[in-house]
A and B are shown apart, each in its own frame.
Chain A
């Protein structure tokens, strides 16, 4: 028989444990099992769940496309994961259970195709160009790329190993600016967030990020960025546990994604 303080601790621990188990139950989305009598038999027999890993800069667009796809195909679930394309590619090569990969550069997609992990050749769905983002009041009085060489200003860019960082390096070379960043961030969303909070005077992000941030940042266009566009390839992955659904979602994004991508500020693929 457990008495006194030990009993209270045990009751406490049990309650915490039960709550934790109940909450993990909420985490998994519920889908109708394929062929169950409750579902109305989706067109083409597509069902199940797929995981899509995508570049951080696609986060304003892909959720809408995923929900539209799920509405068109009841009984399917599309789970989205965003991050720096090079980190995502490394995870896929290391065996992460991902069904579709949308990268922010052909170089990071090549990491996955070189490892023979794509089920279909990648298709470019959009292109993007870099833009300077500053806080709305522009406290650093940033006028253009040349200000990135000013050591007194706090400027940040993406790490050169991610696509937006590689493009940034190209743009600086084209503009002949010896940039002195104060930090190399692991993905473009980190750069944008630090500009939004005012921790940085300026950051080099994508035009789509400036648009998505709305009134939280101000954008300053960069002429040389037109010569350093990044391309976004998408491909289903051969290790997918649900390859028909992965291919269907990829085709959906390729064929039906153009209006949403254009609305977010992406450039067309060619």
Chain B
């Protein structure tokens, strides 16, 4: 039992240790202040925040629908939940390809959008937000659905008997009770969006300041400027650890849902 556990620990902690040990600390200030890292950092945080907002706005209603789906046929709920969870198992590049087929100028929705409004979605910051929302939504929906199902029905019944409309009950009773699950799902969505690479580079492209997020910048820097790539890696690891530690394990409820 001990040996496999130790091996697992080495597999998880080893790369992080190697990263921190081999980072060019003496050049870190110069690398971080350079033209690559800060714009990518700002873009990454901005788009991750925006995509988390999108996930919450779209995901909470979706989770509410799924949480109330007990009356539906089993097959339908199974398919619905599988579709929601698909971005979790889909390779991100495949997600990017699928988004291109939907929203590019010759895509299923993209072609009418372009013909009607002249709207091009790939190569824009909006495309980054869409790609990140695509991969982050399952975390939020599944976490919130679990939290909603865990709300004690007696509270909602009490609210109804006191005369609250279904909407008021949802907003003022159910959601606050499900808030920890919502927060956990949102944080996981945010973290996933921050690290998203494959769908972003395939669907949104790579342009500094517009679509070059931190992971994309690290990939581009890897061949000619490994120092920058390592600096970006360190930034991402520090941010990830900070987010997870700050939550003091409340994010685990999101995974257990």
Q: Do residues A183 and B223 form an inter-chain contact, with CB atoms below 8 A?
A: no
Write the B101-129 contact mask toward A (1 if CB under 8 angstroms, else 0): 00011100000000000001011000000
Which residues of B (165-215) have their CB < 8 Å from a CB of A? Answer: 201, 204-208, 210-211
Cα-based distance from A184 to B220 in the complex (angstroms): 10
A198 touching B211, Cβ below 8 Å? no
B122 touches A90 (CB 8 A): no
Is B100 part of the contact surface with A, judged by Cβ < 8 Å? yes
* Residues in A whose Cβ lies below 8 Å from that of B123: 154, 156, 182-183, 199-200
Chain A, 143-199, CB within 8 A of any chain B CB: 154, 156, 159, 161, 181-186, 194, 197-199
List chain B residues, Cβ under 8 A from A154: 120, 123
Q: Contact: A161 with B220, CB < 8 Å?
A: yes
Q: A181-B207, A183-B123, A185-B206 are in contact. Are A86 and B104 (CB under 8 A)?
A: no
Q: How far is the CA of A156 from the CA of B223 in the complex (A)?
A: 20
Contact of A199 with B220 in the complex, beta carbons under 8 Å = no
Asked if A87 is at the interface (CB within 8 A of a chain B CB), the reply is: yes
> Are A86 and B122 in contact, CB atoms less than 8 angstroms apart?
no
User: B224 on the interface (CB 8 Å rule)?
Assistant: yes
A89 adjacent to chain B (CB < 8 Å): yes
- List chain B residues, Cβ under 8 A from A156: 123, 205
The yes or no answer to B222 lying at the interface (CB within 8 A) is yes
B106: chain A residues at CB < 8 Å are 197-199
Q: Which of A90, A159, A183 has the most CB of B within 10 A?
A: A183
**Are B206 and A159 in touch, CB under 8 angstroms?**
yes
- Whether the pair A161, B105 counts as a contact (CB closer than 8 A) is no
**CB atoms of A184 and B206 under 8 A apart:** yes
Contact residues in A for B206 (Cβ distance below 8 Å): 159, 183-186
In the docked arrangement, what's the CA distance between A198 and B114, Å?
A: 12
Which residues of B, 82-109, contact A by the 8 Å Cβ criterion?
Answer: 100, 104-106
* Contact residues in A for B223 (Cβ distance below 8 Å): 84, 86-87, 89-90, 161
Given contacts A86-B223, A156-B123, A159-B220, contact A197 B205 (CB under 8 A): no
B120, B205, B222, most chain A CB atoms within 10 A: B205
**Residues of chain B with a CB closer than 8 A to A86's CB:** 223-224
Closest B residue to A161 by beta carbon equals B224
Can you report 7 residue pairs joining A to B where beta carbons are below 8 Å apart? A84-B223, A161-B223, A183-B204, A183-B206, A186-B201, A194-B205, A199-B100
Question: Is the pair A182, B224 in contact by a Cβ cutoff of 8 Å?
Answer: no
Q: Which residues of B line the A interface, CB within 8 A?
A: 100, 104-106, 120, 122-123, 201, 204-208, 210-211, 219-220, 222-224
Q: What CA separation (Å) do A184 and B208 show in the bound complex?
A: 9
Residues of A within 8 A of B122 (CB): 194, 199
Q: Which of these, B100, B104, B207, B224, contacts A184 with CB under 8 Å?
A: B207
Contact A185/B100 with A87-B223, A198-B106 known, Cβ cut-off 8 Å: no
Give the 7 A-B residue pairs with the shortest CB-CB distance, closest first.
Answer: A183-B205, A182-B123, A86-B223, A90-B223, A198-B106, A161-B224, A199-B104
Task: Kindly supply a per-residue 1/0 record for chain A positions 87-98, scoring 1 wherever the CB is within 8 Å of any chain B CB and 0 otherwise.
Answer: 101100000000
From B123, B201, B223, residue with most partner A Cβ within 10 Å:
B223
Cβ contacts under 8 Å, A87 to chain B: 222-223
User: Is there an interface contact between A182 and B205, defined as CB atoms closer than 8 Å?
Assistant: yes
CA of A197 to CA of B120, assembled, Å: 13
Contact of A185 among B104, B205, B210, B224 (CB under 8 A): B205
A264 to chain B, nearest CB (A): 26
**Which chain A residue lies CB-closest to B211?**
A183
The verdict on A198 contacting B220 (CB below 8 Å), with A154-B123, A183-B211 known, is no
Taking a contact as CB atoms under 8 Å apart, the answer to whether B104 and A197 are in contact is yes
Q: How far is the CA of A89 from the CA of B123 in the complex (A)?
A: 28
Which residue of A186, A194, A200 is within 8 Å of B220 (Cβ)? Answer: A186
Please report the C-alpha to C-alpha distance between residue A154 and residue B219 in the assembled complex, in whole angstroms.
Answer: 23
Residue of B nearest to A86 (CB): B223
Closest to A198 in B: B106
> Which residues of A are found within 8 Å of B207, using beta-carbon distances?
181-184
Please give the distance in Å from B61's CB to the nearest CB on chain A: 31
Residues from chain B with Cβ under 8 Å of A199 in the complex: 100, 104-106, 120, 122-123
For A161, the chain B residues whose CB sits under 8 A away are 220, 223-224
Complex Cα distance, B203 from A194, in Å, reads 10
CA distance A154 to B105 in the complex (A): 11
Chain B proximity of A194: nearest CB distance (Å): 8
- Which residue of A has the minimal Cβ distance to B201? A186
Task: Tell me, in angstroms, the Cα distance from A186 to B212 when the chains sit together.
Answer: 12
A108, closest chain B residue (CB): B223
Question: Smallest CB-CB separation from B203: which chain A residue?
Answer: A199
> Shortest CB–CB separation between residue A67 and chain B, in angstroms?
29
Query: Could you list 14 further interchain pairs (A-B, Cβ under 8 angstroms) beyond the known A84-B223, A182-B205?
Result: A87-B222, A154-B120, A154-B123, A156-B123, A156-B205, A159-B220, A161-B220, A183-B204, A183-B211, A184-B205, A186-B219, A199-B100, A199-B106, A199-B123
